[in-house]
Chains A and B, each alone.
Chain A
Amino acid sequence: MGSAVHDNIKIAIRDVTKLYSNNSHSLIALDAINLEIMDGEFFCLLGPSGCGKSTLLNIMAGFEKPTDGKVLIEGGEIAAPNPRYVTVFQDYGIFPWRTVQENVEFGLEIKGIEVNERKKIAEVFIKMVGLVGFEMRHPIELSGGMKQRVSLARALAVNPEIIFMDEPFGAVDALTRMKLQEELVKIWREENKTIVFVTHDIDEAIYLGDRIAVMSSMPGRIKSLLDVPMNRPRLRTENDFLRIKEKIYLEFFEYADKK
C-alpha cells in the first residue's frame, strides 16, 4: 500500500552537474545526475556527508543553479524558490521573534491570506504536528524536536506540492527522531505530498522512503537506486527491513574497499 504506483513524473533531473571552483581547484560536487521522482512519492537521497546530496536538493528547490543540466518540475524548469515547493532545514529556520502560531502563519502571510483564515489553517497544522498548547511559546522555549515540528507545520500550512527536507531530523536525539519519522509518514500519507528527503542515516531512509537513491562522493553520483517494497507502517526489526539495510551497507563497504 505504501509503495503505490506513482505514474506521473513530478521532478525530472536531467544531467545535472555542479562544479565548485576557485582559482586553483575545481570540485565536481555533482556529476551528471539523472533522476525521476514521481508524484506523491517519498523519495530519499542517502549518502555520506560531502556526497552532494544537499547540493542536489538545493538545486531542486531553486536555491542554487546547476553548472550544467536542468531540473524540471512538472515539465517546467526551476529557476528560483517557489512557494509550491517548500524546504524544511536541519536547523529549523524558524523565526525566534515569532511565537509558534506566528511561525506557522508566516507563509500564509506571504500569500496574503487574511487573519482569521490564517489562524484557522495554522490551528489545523499545529494540531497535526502535536503542538497544541504551545501556540504562544517562542522557539527559545522549545526543544529541538518541537522546533522541527514548528518548521514542518509551517511548511505544510502553505499547502505545497513538494516538501524538500534537508536532514530535518539530524539535530534531534535518536528516540525523538524515530517518533518524528513515524509522524512524518503518517502526515505524508494523509496529505498526499511529494517528499524529497536528504539523510545520511540508513535506517531513516529505509523507514521513510518509497525509493532510495544511494549516493557516492568525489564526484557526487547516484550509486544505486533501490525500491523499498514494504508495507507501512514499517517495522525496523522486520526481515525485509534488515535485508535492505544489509544491501545498503554492502554498497558503502564495497565503495570503501575500492578506495
Chain B
Amino acid sequence: MGKHVREKASKKMWKSFKKVILLLVFLLIWELLPAFGIINKTFFAPPSEVFVALVRLLISGELWIHTSISLKRAFTGFSIAAITMIPLGFLMGWYNDFEEIADGLVQTLRQTSSLSLFPVFILFLGIGEISKIAVIFWGAQWPILLNTISGVRSVDPLLIKSARSMGSSAVSLFGKVVLPSSLPSIITGVRLSATHSIIVLVAAEMIGAKSGLGYSVINWEYNFMIPEMYAAIVTLAVLGLITNYALVWLEKTTTKWKEDVMIT
C-alpha cells in the first residue's frame, strides 16, 4: 500500500513538473545565451541579474509604489467598465430595438483603437489620472458589453417559457432565469476585459505618465538600467498571470453546471 501511495505522489509531482518544464528550459536558455556571449549581456540581462534587481527594487519599495499605482489605474478603469457595461448589456440584449439603434455606433466605436484615442482623452481630461483611467475604461468596456449582450441573447427561450408557466413576474424572470443563464458569458467578458485593461494600462503609461509599471519599463530603458527594465516586465507578466488564473477560477466555479468547461 505504501508503494501505491508513493507511486501516486510521484505521478502527481510529474504532472506539476510537466506544466513548468518548458518554462524552466526557457529560463535556462535565457541565462546561458548572455553567459556564453551569444547575445550581448548589456541588452539581454540574464534571469539571475533580473532577479537581483527585482529583489533590490522590492526592498527599496520602488517596485511596490509603481505596481500599486498601476493596479489602481487598471482596477478603476476596469471596475467602471464592469459597473456600467453589464447593465447596459442587459438592456441592449433584452430590448431588440435598443440594440438595433445602438449597434452601428457600438461597432464603429469598438473598432476605434483605444490608444489612438488617448491623445483625445488627454486633450479633454488633462495629463492626470483621469485620462489614463478613461482610456483603460474605453478598452475594457467592449468585451464586457458584447459578452453580456450575447449572454442575454442566448438564454434558452424554453426556460423563459417554463418560468412564465410557473407564474414568474418580469423581475423574477430576470433574476432567476436571465441573470444566471447569461452569467458564464458575462464572466468570460470580464476576464477578457481584465486582460485587456493591463495591456492598455502599460501602453498608456508608456505614452503619458510619470509613474507606474509601464512608465518604469520605458524609464529604466532610457536610463540604461536594463536588469530593472526586465524586472518591471516580469512583474507585469506575473500580474497578468495572477489576474487570468483568478478569473479562470471564478469562471470555473460559477459555471460548474455547464457541459465541458474548457477554459485556458
Residue among B167, B168, B256, B258 with max Cβ neighbours from chain A (10 Å): B167
Interface footprint category on A: 20 to 34
Distance in angstroms from B117 CB to nearest chain A CB is: 38
Q: Which chain B residues lie closer than 8 Å to A106 at the CB level?
A: 163, 166, 176
Q: Mark A211-230 against chain B: 1 for CB-CB distance below 8 A, else 0.
A: 00000000000000000000
Q: Of the candidates A86, A98, A138, A140, which one forms a contact with B165 in the assembled complex, judged by CB atoms under 8 Å apart?
A: A86
Residue in chain B with minimal CB distance to A108: B166
Q: Of the candidates A61, A83, A138, which one forms a contact with B256 in the assembled complex, judged by CB atoms under 8 Å apart?
A: A138
Q: Mark A154-182 against chain B: 1 for CB-CB distance below 8 A, else 0.
A: 10001000000000000000000000000
Q: Which chain A residues lie closer than 8 Å to B167 at the CB level?
A: 81-83, 107, 110-111, 158
Q: Which chain A residues lie closer than 8 Å to B156 at the CB level?
A: 93
Q: Does B258 lie within 8 Å of A96, measured CB to CB?
A: yes
Residue among A98, A110, A111 with max Cβ neighbours from chain B (10 Å): A110
Q: Of the candidates A82, A89, A109, A138, which one forms a contact with B162 in the assembled complex, judged by CB atoms under 8 Å apart?
A: A89
Q: Mark A66-107 against chain B: 1 for CB-CB distance below 8 A, else 0.
A: 000000000000000111001101010111111000000011
Take A95-B159, A138-B256, A140-B257 as given contacts and tell me if A81 and B165 are in contact as well, using a CB distance cutoff of 8 Å.
Answer: yes
Distance in angstroms from B172 CB to nearest chain A CB is: 6
Residue in chain A with minimal CB distance to B179: A97
Take A107-B167, A110-B167, A140-B257 as given contacts and tell me if A97 and B162 are in contact as well, using a CB distance cutoff of 8 Å.
Answer: no
Distance in angstroms from B6 CB to nearest chain A CB is: 34
Which parts of B226-264 form the interface with A (CB within 8 Å)?
A: 256-259
Distance in angstroms from B171 CB to nearest chain A CB is: 11
Distance in angstroms from A205 CB to nearest chain B CB is: 23
Q: Mark A172-200 against chain B: 1 for CB-CB distance below 8 A, else 0.
A: 00000000000000000000000000000
A134 interface residue per 8 A CB criterion: no
B150 interface residue per 8 A CB criterion: no
Take A97-B181, A107-B167, A140-B259 as given contacts and tell me if A87 and B176 are in contact as well, using a CB distance cutoff of 8 Å.
Answer: no
Take A91-B158, A93-B159, A95-B159 as given contacts and tell me if A81 and B256 are in contact as well, using a CB distance cutoff of 8 Å.
Answer: no
A241 interface residue per 8 A CB criterion: no
Q: What separation, in Å, do the CA atoms of A138 and B256 have in the docked complex?
A: 9
Q: What separation, in Å, do the CA atoms of A193 and B98 have in the docked complex?
A: 43
Distance in angstroms from A104 CB to nearest chain B CB is: 11
Q: Which chain A residues lie closer than 8 Å to B169 at the CB level?
A: 110
Distance in angstroms from A241 CB to nearest chain B CB is: 32
Q: Mark A228-259 against chain B: 1 for CB-CB distance below 8 A, else 0.
A: 00000000000000000000000000000000
Q: Does A83 lie within 8 Å of B166, measured CB to CB?
A: yes
B161 interface residue per 8 A CB criterion: yes
Q: Mark B1-16 against chain A: 1 for CB-CB distance below 8 A, else 0.
A: 0000000000000000
Q: What separation, in Å, do the CA atoms of A110 and B172 have in the docked complex?
A: 7
Q: What separation, in Å, do the CA atoms of A86 and B159 have in the docked complex?
A: 13
Q: Does B158 lie within 8 Å of A93, measured CB to CB?
A: yes
Q: Mark A8-37 against chain B: 1 for CB-CB distance below 8 A, else 0.
A: 000000000000000000000000000000
Q: What separation, in Å, do the CA atoms of A139 and B258 have in the docked complex?
A: 9
Q: Please give me the 8 A-B residue pairs with the lowest Cβ-Cβ distance, nearest first.
A: A83-B167, A93-B162, A107-B166, A87-B165, A93-B158, A138-B257, A97-B257, A81-B164
Some 23 contacts from A to B, beta carbons below 8 A apart, are A63-B165, A81-B167, A82-B167, A83-B165, A83-B166, A86-B165, A87-B165, A89-B158, A91-B158, A93-B161, A93-B162, A95-B176, A95-B181, A97-B180, A97-B181, A97-B183, A109-B172, A110-B167, A110-B169, A139-B257, A140-B258, A154-B166, A158-B166
Q: Which residues of B contact A (CB under 8 A)?
A: 156, 158-159, 161-169, 172, 176-177, 180-181, 183, 256-259
With A86-B166, A107-B167 known, 12 other A-B pairs at CB within 8 A are A63-B161, A81-B165, A83-B167, A89-B162, A96-B258, A97-B180, A106-B163, A110-B169, A138-B256, A138-B257, A140-B259, A151-B162
